[in-house]
Amino acid sequence: MNGSTATALRQLPSVDRLLQTPDVAALVAAHGRAVVTEAVRAALDEARASIRAGGEAPEYSALVQAVEAVARTRTAPTLIPVINATGVIIHTNLGRAPLSRAARQAILDVALGYSNLEYDLAQGQRGSRYAHAAALLAELTGAEAGLVVNNNAAAVTLILAALCADREVLISRGELVEIGGGFRIPDVLRQSGARLVEVGTTNRTYARDFEAAITPYTAAILTVHASNFRIVGFTHTPARDELAALAHERGLWLIDDIGSGALLDTTAYSLAPEPMPQASLQAGADLVAFSGDKLLGGPQAGLIVGRTELIELLRRFPLTRALRVDKLTLAALHATLLHYRRGEIDQIPVWAMVGASLDDLRARAETWEAALAGRGVAASVVSVESTVGGGSLPGETLPSVALALSVPSPDTLAARLRTGALPVVARIEAGRLLLDPRTVLPEQDDALLAALLAQV
Ligand SMILES: *Cc1c(COP(=O)(O)O)cnc(C)c1O
């Protein structure tokens, strides 16, 4: 070590002295002592390394900045908002359904204080969390009763465990599906203690296949919507009412996992039909399970609707306690369901995105284009296809428009957009970076442009 290196090292303050300076004390107040002490050590380590490599002792202000940068990254939340410009509406990796304003407000209203979550205000005594949202859910689907749990995977597991443990459940070979995230119907059945009996073939299953498989041990027929793939060609699936009639004639339950749970008819949006809980109940299903955060457009939840005595049985089943739904979810779910009751479909972001007009989308993409052109960035508005995603409507697309940026390296720009202060997730197609306005919330337009202009 030469003399100037030794001098520079001696000029560095100690950890304690740095912590006592007003600037670093302010950081302690903001981020906590443990984090800032660690950040001070890291900053001093780095300064020493740089001096040994021939550098000079850093200025005091540079040290404080380094401490602040480390402290900020250590305390920054890992779960943060992003702008979804992919055009995939129910993007599972990006948190599925964005909530309506009313749902967000309902969450705030119960989050910031106490609530009557399990308290009957009229009687002044203990009430049930399962009373919230359940009546409205039943009303909207035409069910006798409803129950809300943590997610649809929990709903299906609960139903099978409560009604079918140690008994046989019949399911078509074409419906032994993996939903994603490792949720495989055969595994769920096994975990619930029910015995899986496969009937029919991958592409063709008839009611008579189910009938032939019924034994004295059979508890139920389970139907599962093949949410994320489609079998086309030489196929047959028995109608729900045919299966319901068979099940009831033989003293079995018909349980229907419809996955997405569209309360609205997707064909009105020029999409393929998605199973609707109303239709399934009408056809005679005893219990229908679906997600709250797919096409319903609400918070993550598992919704079960069907016959009162079965819903009651599920409510009292011990596993229900382990799958129970949170008050914030119930608040958001009720607010979302109210949109359906009031016919305010355009206030549910998922449906506003599905129903967005091409003219509106083009107008927004053109506004983005003009803003970029003002800064000398070339972009063009192009025709693309958006998808619903999230295990809904596989292979179905919505004609859309996007802003296409032809940059030398779309991957590099995409990475920079992802790692900005407000991350933007774009899609790359045919060597172009595409930004699809369909999934960008209209109130995010300015933030998107700011993020773009900071990176291009
Ligand atoms: C998505 C899906 C599930 C899982 O629902 P989560 O709410 O994600 O737990 C189960 N079954 C089907 C048919 C699905 O599409």
Interval 8-55: pLDDT, tens: 899 999 999 999 999 999 999 999 999 999 999 999 999 999 999 998
| Cβ–ligand 1 contact at 452 (below 6 Å) | no
Q: Whose CA is nearest to atom 12 of ligand 1?
A: 259
Write down the domain spans for the chain: 3-75, 83-91+352-455, 101-347
Conformational region of residue 297, where left means phi above 0, alpha means psi within -120 to 50, and beta covers everything else: left
The pLDDT of residue 1 is 62
Q: Tokens 């002792």: give the residue.
A: 57
The pLDDT of residue 377 is 84
**β-pairing, 392-405 with 432-435?**
antiparallel
| Cβ–ligand 1 contact at 227 (below 6 Å) | yes
The pLDDT of residue 248 is 98
Those residues whose C-beta lies under 8 Å from the C-beta of residue 44, and which sit 6 or more positions away, are 12, 13, 15, 18, 63
The pLDDT of residue 202 is 84
Cα 361 from Cα 390, distance rounded (Å): 22
| Cβ–ligand 1 contact at 157 (below 6 Å) | no
The pLDDT of residue 4 is 84
Q: Tokens 């209209």: give the residue.
A: 442
Higher pLDDT, 294 or 203: 294
Task: Single out the residue of 171, 261, 176, 290 nearest to residue 220, CA to CA.
Answer: 171
Contacts for 91-94: CB closer than 8 Å, 24+ residues apart: 91/389, 91/390, 91/439, 92/180, 92/181, 92/389, 92/390, 92/391, 94/425
* Mean pLDDT of all residues in 110-116: 96
Task: Single out the residue of 295, 292, 256, 254 nearest to residue 274, CA to CA.
Answer: 295
| Cβ–ligand 1 contact at 298 (below 6 Å) | no
* Mean pLDDT of all residues in 359-376: 94
Those residues whose C-beta lies under 8 Å from the C-beta of residue 150, and which sit 6 or more positions away, are 300, 301, 302, 323, 324, 325, 326, 329
Task: Single out the residue of 131, 119, 120 nearest to residue 311, CA to CA.
Answer: 131
Task: Single out the residue of 53, 55, 67 nearest to residue 17, CA to CA.
Answer: 67
CATH of domain 101-347: 3.40.640.10
* Mean pLDDT of all residues in 240-267: 96
Task: Single out the residue of 374, 371, 373, 368 nearest to residue 402, CA to CA.
Answer: 368
Cα 258 from Cα 128, distance rounded (Å): 27
Within 10 angstroms of residue 197's Cβ, the number of other Cβ atoms is: 18
Those residues whose C-beta lies under 8 Å from the C-beta of residue 323, and which sit 6 or more positions away, are 149, 150, 154, 155, 157, 158, 302
Instruction: Classify 19 as helix, strand or coil.
Output: helix
The pLDDT of residue 396 is 81
Distance from Cα 175 to the centre of ligand 1, integer Å? 13
Q: Which atom of ligand 1 is nearest to the CA of 291?
A: 7
Query: How many angstroms separate the first and last alpha carbons of the chain?
Result: 45
Identify the weakest region by mean pLDDT among 114-123, 129-138, 159-168, 392-401. Answer: 392-401
Here the tokens at position 175 are 């419906």
pLDDT digits over 384-429, tens only? 998 888 766 777 889 999 999 988 899 999 999 999 889 999 999 9
The pLDDT of residue 189 is 86
The pLDDT of residue 228 is 74
| Cβ–ligand 1 contact at 347 (below 6 Å) | no
pLDDT digits over 259-291, tens only? 998 999 999 999 989 999 999 999 999 999 999
Q: Tokens 């993007």: give the residue.
A: 91
The pLDDT of residue 361 is 97
| Cβ–ligand 1 contact at 153 (below 6 Å) | yes
Task: Single out the residue of 241, 247, 227, 262 nearest to residue 141, CA to CA.
Answer: 262
The pLDDT of residue 337 is 98
Q: Whose CA is nearest to atom 1 of ligand 1?
A: 259
Within 10 angstroms of residue 244's Cβ, the number of other Cβ atoms is: 24
Task: Single out the residue of 335, 245, 325 nearest to residue 298, CA to CA.
Answer: 335
CATH class of 83-91+352-455: alpha beta
Here the tokens at position 349 are 């972001």
Q: What rounded mean pLDDT belongs to the chain?
A: 94
What does pTM read for this prediction? 0.92
Topology alike, domains 83-91+352-455 and 101-347:
no
Is the distance from CB of 115 to CB of 316 less than 8 angstroms?
no
pLDDT digits over 58-97, tens only? 999 999 999 999 999 998 999 999 999 999 999 999 999 9
| DSSP tag of 299 | S
Distances (CA, A) of 65 to 18, 23, 61: 12, 10, 6
The pLDDT of residue 222 is 97
Distance from Cα 345 to the centre of ligand 1, integer Å? 23
| Cβ–ligand 1 contact at 323 (below 6 Å) | no
| DSSP tag of 204 | B
Q: Whose CA is nearest to atom 13 of ligand 1?
A: 259
Cα 301 from Cα 313, distance rounded (Å): 19
Q: How many residues does the chain have?
A: 456
Report, in this order, helix, strand and coil percent for the chain, each rounded to 5. Answer: 50, 20, 35
Identify the weakest region by mean pLDDT among 214-228, 366-380, 384-398. Answer: 384-398
